[in-house]
Structure 1
Amino acid sequence: MNTPKRFIQRKVDVAEADKTRTHGPVADRPHPSGGAVFLAGVAGSGRGDLGRLAAERLGIPFRSYKEWEAAGRDRAVVALDDADILREGGPERVRSQGTVFYLMSGVPAVAERLAQAHPGEDAERLRALAAERFFAAEPVFMGALHFLLQGFRPAEEQVRDLLEKLSL
């Protein structure tokens, strides 16, 4: 499928002539530049792999939330889970400190990653735990996000998408 990369950066005319809006570089930024780059997601969503790759491309460190706090909240790629977001003061507080990407991985992908990380564990039990965590945490992540990343895509595609979104 061949879709335009920057289709949203056009002037769009609507039925009422006085209701036009231009989207793109001149529009207000939907996220603060220069802050942390937060990767929010449940355990097994791929935050670590994507975070290390994104940090390397951006030339900044990759940190867990606790490491980021200990480092003085520096410019870094930071892995967050829902408990970190709530500990930080909620979704709005996190959004104000950087750009939040929700790495949305479905239950099957999360369960598969957890099974790889914990060989010998009961696969059905891991799937049930993944489903429980996913559905409990998703509202927190959705409230915090600036951008959504599709967790089922390869990390290389995700990091390209992340870098493109950071440049908006």
Structure 2
Amino acid sequence: MAKYLINEEYDVQEAGAAKTFGKGERRRDYADPWRETGNVVLIGLPGSGRAELARLLADRMGKPVLIPSEAQAAAEALQGLGAIIVLDDRLVDDPGVQPLIHGAGKVFYLMADTRLLSDRVAGRGGVEGEEAAEDLWRQLSARLAEVEPVFYGVLHFILQGAQSPEDLVGDALEKIGY
């Protein structure tokens, strides 16, 4: 099916021209939701470090942290101003919330492999036994397959969730400053 995804030819004036964005360059080809809202939105799977990164950013930026647990609260948070908003994967995938995310502020996806995420979740949630840990890993892997395309559809930046939140805060602040 993928082989039919791109099947049109286009004539371009400069066939060899390319545009790339390196670290520190400002992207000027999309509207900057940050200027309008001042929001930072953190998305990712459980164990990615969203809540801890939000706390660290709040300390540095003096903004409140909002962690909505239901769709209505998430929609209200995304329509507000000047907050750090932490959304779990269930809310990112919600049809009433998803269309609001990209324009609500700068959106960061904390990406990490599911083995690492399951180890983190198991460590803090009291998951005991190898079989339970393996089941958690399978559940997170299946969930990632479902929701990662949604994450890609709403994000502005990717942060490496394999790093600790303390190591990510500087990178996030730099990107917020773009």
Fold conserved between structures, TM > 0.5: yes
Deviates more, 1:83-92 or 1:99-108: 83-92
Change in 2 beyond 3 A, CA 1:115/1:167: same
Counterpart residue number, 1:3: none
Q: Following the alignment from structure 1 to structure 2, what is the Cα–Cα distance between the partners of residues 144 and 77?
A: 16
For 1:70 and 1:77, the matched residues in 2 are separated by 9
TM-score by length of 1: 0.76
What is the rounded CA distance, in whole Å, between the counterparts of 1:43 and 1:126 in structure 2?
11
1:85 Cα shift? 2.5
Counterpart residue number, 2:108: 101
Tell me: CA distance 1:133–1:21, structure 2 relative to 1, closer, same or farther (3 Å). Answer: closer
User: Identity of aligned pairs, percent?
Assistant: 36
Residue of 54, 73, 80 corresponding to 2:80: 73
Point out the structure with the larger helix share. 2
Structure 1 stretches of 4+ moved >4 Å: 19-23
Q: CA deviation at 1:42?
A: 1.0
Q: CA RMSD in A?
A: 3.0
Quote the residue 1:82 is aligned against. 89
Alpha-carbon distance change, 119 to 152 in structure 1, aligned in 2, over 3 angstroms: same
Letter in 2 for 1:136: E
Say how many residue pairs are matched: 154
- Shift in alpha-carbon separation, 1:137–1:20, aligned structure 2, 3 A: closer
Write the deviation string for residues 14-59 of structure 1: whole angstroms up to 9, x where unpaired. Answer: xx5xx68797458356531242100000111111111111111111
Distance 1:128 1:160 in 2: 32
**Pair 1:55-2:58 in alignment:** yes
Distance 1:98 1:42 in 2: 19
Unaligned runs of 5+ residues in structure 1 are 1-15
Say if 1:30 and 1:128 are closer, same or farther in 2 by CA, change over 3 A.
same
CA distance 1:120–1:94, change in 2 (3 Å): closer
1:110 is matched with 117
What SS does the corresponding residue of 2:108 show, helix, strand or coil? strand
Aligned in 2, Cα 1:70/1:139: closer, same or farther, shift over 3 Å? Answer: closer
Corresponding position: 1:153 with 2:163: yes
Pairwise CA distance, 1:73: 2.5
Partner of 1:33: 34
Does the 8 Å contact 1:82/1:140 carry over to 2? Answer: no
CA distance in 1, matches of 2:82, 2:101: 14
Compared CA separation, residues 105 and 31, structure 1 to 2 (3 A):
farther
Q: Which runs of 5+ in 2 are unaligned?
A: 1-13
Shift in Å, 1:88: 6.2
**What is the CA-CA distance between 1:142 and the residue it aligns to?**
0.7
| Separation of aligned partners in 2, 1:78 and 1:21 | 31
